[in-house]
Amino acid sequence: MRRREFITLIGAAMARPCAAHTQQSSLPVIGFMSARSPEDSVHELAAFLNGLEAGSFVDGRNVKIEYRWARGDYGLLSMLAAELVQQRVNILVATGGDASARAAKAATSAIPIVFTSGGDPIEAGFVQSLNRPGGNATGFAVLSSGEMETKRLDLLRAVVPEILLFGAMINPKFPPAVGQLRDMEAAASKIGRRLLIAKASNDAELDVAFATLLRERIGALVVASDPYFDTRRTRIIAFAAEHRLPAIYQWRQYADEGGLISYGPSITEAYRQVGIYAGRILNGAKPADLPVTRPTKFDFVINLRTAKALGLEIPPTVSALADEVIE
């Protein structure tokens, strides 16, 4: 399905009038909430629906999905979760990071929750353990933070070994941000690089962050994993391109859309697993008995077109590590 057609389909689904709910009152309802936006989640949604279909559930046929999007504004998540709980959905799917999962957990202790978590779901209080979650929640621990930030910094250093000052963009309102900052600063110190931190959680702060990075003359950029940044990835990629900054990102979609490098777990696989779990719960499984799943696939993608535009030659030792090279 083409991107535009898929967005149109999702838009139509979200715009269904209340009458449709009455007509389909016999169908189970999934409340799908995200810290991201639908326009930036096309592939992720397709993967979720694919996973749901693996359990023989298709939206509009034998299940109904109610969508809610925060579009990078974490302050909206509690309200979105409350709306879905008031509608008495059968399952609450909380995606787009820990802030979404936390809002869902605060909204209900009875409705089953399937989440994506960027950090440690035990430390966050979402589950009691990974193998036996207990309570009403389970999901997929994306592990996009922490050690992933360290690995990304090291990969970028390997591409531009002559750069001594790196910039890092972090959203202070993203729950794992404290750990991200700690791990990135430790990694920079270990490899003998200085790190300039630029913080942004909204568009005005993003403009300030861009200006700060330019003023301090960073030589390369690490964009920390964060759903808000995902909703603004076109702007961030364009900023790096305009100012000829080698940059590394978390999801392969950044490299697909013109970013230099991406490294991280497969986000589409995470959403597919969430869809599978939603289907299993609709078929009678309990979240407490479904182990939290973790990544088994990681994508390291290099965009050689972008490298050429930046005047960079990717070292053969780095290219050899790539899962995919975009030429």
Per-residue pLDDT tens over the stretch 221-250 = 999 989 999 999 999 999 999 999 999 999
Q: Averaged over 24-39, what is the pLDDT?
A: 90
3-state secondary structure of 25: coil
More confident residue, 40 or 89: 89
pLDDT in tens, 246-289: 999 999 999 999 999 999 988 899 999 999 999 999 999 999 99
| Neighbouring residues of 186: CB distance < 8 A, sequence distance ≥ 6 | 150
- SS3 percent helix, strand, coil of the chain, rounded to 5, is 45, 20, 35
Please report the pLDDT score of residue 16 as a whole number.
44
Please report the pLDDT score of residue 302 as a whole number.
97
Q: Is the CB of residue 119 less than 8 Å from the CB of residue 180?
A: no
CA distances from 129 to 97, 185, 290 (A): 18, 29, 11
Separation of alpha carbons 160 and 135, rounded Å: 47
Please report the pLDDT score of residue 78 as a whole number.
97
Separation of alpha carbons 119 and 97, rounded Å: 8
Residue 20 binned pLDDT confidence (cut-offs 50, 70, 90): very low
Q: What amino acid occupies position 49?
A: L
Please report the pLDDT score of residue 7 as a whole number.
47
Q: Which of 233, 256, 267, 279 is nearest to 37 (CA)?
A: 233
pLDDT for residue 326 is more than 90: yes
Q: Averaged over 42-71, what is the pLDDT?
A: 96
pLDDT in tens, 293-317: 998 888 899 999 999 999 999 999 9
Please report the pLDDT score of residue 195 as a whole number.
96
Q: Average model confidence (pLDDT) for the chain? A: 90
Q: Averaged over 50-76, what is the pLDDT?
A: 95
Q: pTM here?
A: 0.83
Please report the pLDDT score of residue 281 as a whole number.
97
Q: Averaged over 81-100, what is the pLDDT?
A: 95
Separation of alpha carbons 295 and 288, rounded Å: 20
97: left (phi over 0), alpha (psi -120 to 50) or beta: left
CA distances from 7 to 4, 11, 14, 45, 171 (A): 5, 6, 11, 10, 27
pLDDT in tens, 128-162: 999 999 999 999 998 655 577 788 999 999 999 99
Residue 3 binned pLDDT confidence (cut-offs 50, 70, 90): very low
Residue 25 binned pLDDT confidence (cut-offs 50, 70, 90): low
What structural domains and CATH numbers belong to the chain? 3-143+266-297 (3.40.50.2300), 147-264+299-326 (3.40.50.2300)
Separation of alpha carbons 185 and 168, rounded Å: 10
Q: Averaged over 62-67, what is the pLDDT?
A: 97
Sort strands 113-117 and 137-141 into parallel, antiparallel or unpaired: parallel
CA distances from 274 to 13, 53, 141 (A): 19, 12, 10
Please report the pLDDT score of residue 149 as a whole number.
78
Residue 14 binned pLDDT confidence (cut-offs 50, 70, 90): very low
Q: Which of 68, 89, 88 is nearest to 78 (CA)?
A: 68
pLDDT for residue 63 is more than 90: yes
Separation of alpha carbons 165 and 304, rounded Å: 23
Please report the pLDDT score of residue 97 as a whole number.
86
pLDDT in tens, 156-185: 999 999 999 999 999 999 888 888 899 899
